[in-house]
Amino acid sequence: MQHNKHNEFFLFEREPASFNKLSDKSLLQYCLGGTLYMPATRSVVDKILERTFLHLKSMVM
C-alpha cells in the first residue's frame, strides 16, 4: 500500500492483508482488488450494459 505513505500518523482500521479468491468470505467482502474508478459525470451505462468491460468486477462512481 502506497497511499497515505506521506502521512506518518495515518492509521488503517485494519492493517492491509493479502487475499485471493480462496480467502474467507468474511475478508473478501471488503476486498476491492482492481477497482475501476469513474467520475459520476461520465455516462458509462451503455458500456456496462453492452459488457464492454469484460473483466470488470467492481466499480466506484
Q: In the prediction, which pLDDT does 1 show? A: 47
Q: In the prediction, which pLDDT does 38 show? A: 67
Give CA torsion, residues 44, 48, 50, 55, to 10 deg.
130
Maximum CA extent, the chain: 44
- pLDDT over 90 at 55, yes or no: no
Residue 60, all three cell numbers = 466506484
Decide: 31 and 20 in contact? Cβ < 8 Å: no
Q: What are phi and psi of 25, to 5 degrees?
A: -60, -30
Q: In the prediction, which pLDDT does 10 show? A: 79
Q: Does residue 38 sit within a domain? A: yes
Q: Does residue 48 sit within a domain? A: yes
Q: In the prediction, which pLDDT does 36 show? A: 62
Q: Does residue 5 sit within a domain? A: no
Give, for 37, the enclosing helix (H) or strand (E): strand 36-37
**Each residue of 4-45: pLDDT tens digit?**
677 778 777 777 778 888 999 988 887 776 666 666 666 777
Range of the domain at 47: 33-60
Mean pLDDT of 43-53: 79
Q: Does residue 6 sit within a domain? A: no
Number of domains in the chain: 1
